[in-house]
Structure 1
Amino acid sequence: MRKKQEEYTGPSGVLLVDKAPDMTSHDVVAIARRALNTKKIGHCGTLDPMATGLLMLVIGKATKIQDLLMSEDKVYEGTMTLGTRTSTQDREGEVVETREVGDYSEAEIAAAFESFTGEFEQLPPMVSAIKQGGVPLYKLARKGQEVERKMRPVCVTRYEIDKIDLPEITFKVFCSKGFYVRTYANDIGEKLGCGAHLSALRRSNSGKFNLERAVTVDQLKDANPEVLLPALISLAEISLMRGA
């Protein structure tokens, strides 16, 4: 006779974390597992090591709605540096090309951003977690391999150009799931004719969630239940937030 699976009795809910730079999303999950003493944790949407900001952790019974939460639109704050292309499309890669940066007007820059608004397709970068033949692309990239990738449909509902201080442009982008901000920066640089790479990135929103209720990585490492347990957003509250 099959043994009945024990019902999960640990903490459940969504924990919002303000990810620090120079760590992976999996690093944050590992810290949370130790802090909350549970293995039943996942995250909604990978942030690259250089990126900071909102990382949503689904804990316990909340892991059942992981795919639902990952499908939400996102908001990112970023900085692109014109004139330099890199192997990873961000500041962590090797410089592969440098070009002169023109004295672009605000109108020219806005036109480049405007060309990547609404629904369009992106070519995923080689340094990404997308799998081909069961192998993540970034593992192939580490071996110096480049494979053919399929264009993927994405959507930008809005953008804001916050500051232009050439060669840097600071911006916000409101986008769909599966959107690569570093590819966005690269493509805008190509549109301008000088190339670009993403030099800073912060995720501020995912669906209805933002950083207001996020705990820091240091708070997570402290593993203080008086801080972490009240920070958990319950499944009932999530249902109300999403209008379910």
Structure 2
Amino acid sequence: MTKREDSNGLILVNKPRGLTSHDVVNYVRKKLNTKRVGHAGTLDPQAEGLLIILVGRYTKFFSRFVDFDKEYQGIMKLGEATTTGDAQGEVVKRESVENLKESAVKEVFPSFVGEIEQVPPMVSAIRIGGKRLYKLARRGIVVERPPRKVKIYDLKILKIELPFVEFYVRCSKGTYVRKLAEDIGEKLGCGAHITSIIRTAVGPFTLREAVNLEDISATHLREYTFE
């Protein structure tokens, strides 16, 4: 089959849980029969939601799409910290939240709004010394990671049903929602990990506009002009 190299544009994809962002890229390459496909902003395998897929000449604008702010809805579980910051890891800390008051949770959240520092999790795609952190983590290797400044523009509690807290966050590029949940749990003194992450928006694009993976076709390619 002849490769098509005339496809250009972006596709807003609703990434399902369980697939890597690269899995989605490979799927689109096969579906559209073209090589020049990339994504703008990694979603963890256990995360779901909006993933921007760039096709053809739009891959040249990767950095501009990545620079967009992101929005997420998540659920964290207080009282348990894990090796990966999500439910896939081993529990390394367990504290009772029986006496934790909802008011204490509500008081902590505003302290994370603004410019904050995050130490990237070991299970991430960042390179240290030329090696991906998640590859080192798979081998049981832990290395020092310098903190990075990120911005939390908005952080709201949507529901509290202890030990679970559902929340919304709007943040800058490079923010790890898993790490945000861990840091909130640490500040509360009980630990925490993420049980669900859904990316609901990237810049001007929303999850409502996204197409399910199995429905993707060339008709979903769209144009975008930067202001």
Greater gyration radius: 1
In the TM superposition, 1:62-73 aligns within 5 A as 62-73=58-69
Q: Map Cα deviations across residues 39-84 of structure 1 (whole Å, 9 max, x no partner).
A: 1000011111111100000000101111100011000000000100
Which residue of 1 is the match for residue 218 of structure 2?
A: 229
Which residue of 1 is the match for residue 186 of structure 2?
A: 190
Which residue of 2 is the match for residue 83 of structure 1?
A: 79
In the TM superposition, 1:72-151 aligns within 5 A as 72-151=68-147
Q: Map Cα deviations across residues 105-161 of structure 1 (whole Å, 9 max, x no partner).
A: 343212211111100100001111100111101111111111111000000000111
Letter in 1 for 2:194: L
Q: Match of 1:54, SS?
A: strand
Residue 102 of structure 1, CA deviation: 4.2
Residue 19 of structure 1, CA deviation: 0.4
Give identity over the alignment, percent: 47
Which residue of 2 is the match for residue 32 of structure 1?
A: 28
Letter in 2 for 1:233: R
In the TM superposition, 1:194-209 aligns within 5 A as 194-209=190-205
Instruction: Give the RMSD, CA atoms, in angstroms.
Output: 1.2
Give TM-score scaled by structure 2 length: 0.95
Which residue of 1 is the match for residue 173 of structure 2?
A: 177
Letter in 1 for 2:79: G
Q: Match of 1:104, SS?
A: coil
In the alignment, the residues of structure 1 paired with residue 118 and residue 12 of structure 2 have an alpha-carbon distance, to the nearest angstrom, of 28
Q: Match of 1:178, SS?
A: coil
Give the conservation status (yes or no) of the 8 Å contact 1:84–1:195.
Answer: yes
Residue 212 of structure 1, CA deviation: 2.3
Letter in 1 for 2:87: R
In the alignment, the residues of structure 2 paired with residue 23 and residue 83 of structure 1 have an alpha-carbon distance, to the nearest angstrom, of 28
Q: Map Cα deviations across residues 190-225 of structure 1 (whole Å, 9 max, x no partner).
A: 1111100001000000000112221101213xxxxx
Q: Match of 1:184, SS?
A: helix
Runs of 5+ unmatched residues, structure 2: none
In the alignment, the residues of structure 2 paired with residue 35 and residue 213 of structure 1 have an alpha-carbon distance, to the nearest angstrom, of 20
In the alignment, the residues of structure 1 paired with residue 179 and residue 24 of structure 2 have an alpha-carbon distance, to the nearest angstrom, of 24
Give the conservation status (yes or no) of the 8 Å contact 2:119–2:147.
Answer: yes
Alignment length (residue pairs): 224
Which residue of 2 is the match for residue 12 of structure 1?
A: 8
In the alignment, the residues of structure 2 paired with residue 132 and residue 87 of structure 1 have an alpha-carbon distance, to the nearest angstrom, of 19
In the alignment, the residues of structure 2 paired with residue 65 and residue 117 of structure 1 have an alpha-carbon distance, to the nearest angstrom, of 29
Which residue of 2 is the match for residue 224 of structure 1?
A: none
Runs of 5+ unmatched residues, structure 1: 1-7, 221-227
In the alignment, the residues of structure 2 paired with residue 195 and residue 35 of structure 1 have an alpha-carbon distance, to the nearest angstrom, of 42
Give the conservation status (yes or no) of the 8 Å contact 1:22–1:50.
Answer: yes
In the alignment, the residues of structure 1 paired with residue 165 and residue 14 of structure 2 have an alpha-carbon distance, to the nearest angstrom, of 23
Give the conservation status (yes or no) of the 8 Å contact 2:116–2:150.
Answer: yes
Q: Match of 1:191, SS?
A: helix
Give the conservation status (yes or no) of the 8 Å contact 1:213–1:231.
Answer: no
Q: Match of 1:57, SS?
A: strand
Q: Match of 2:61, SS?
A: helix
- State which drifts further: 169-178 or 102-111: 102-111
Give TM-score scaled by structure 1 length: 0.89
Q: Match of 2:112, SS?
A: coil
Q: Map Cα deviations across residues 80-113 of structure 1 (whole Å, 9 max, x no partner).
A: 0010000001111111111111433343212211
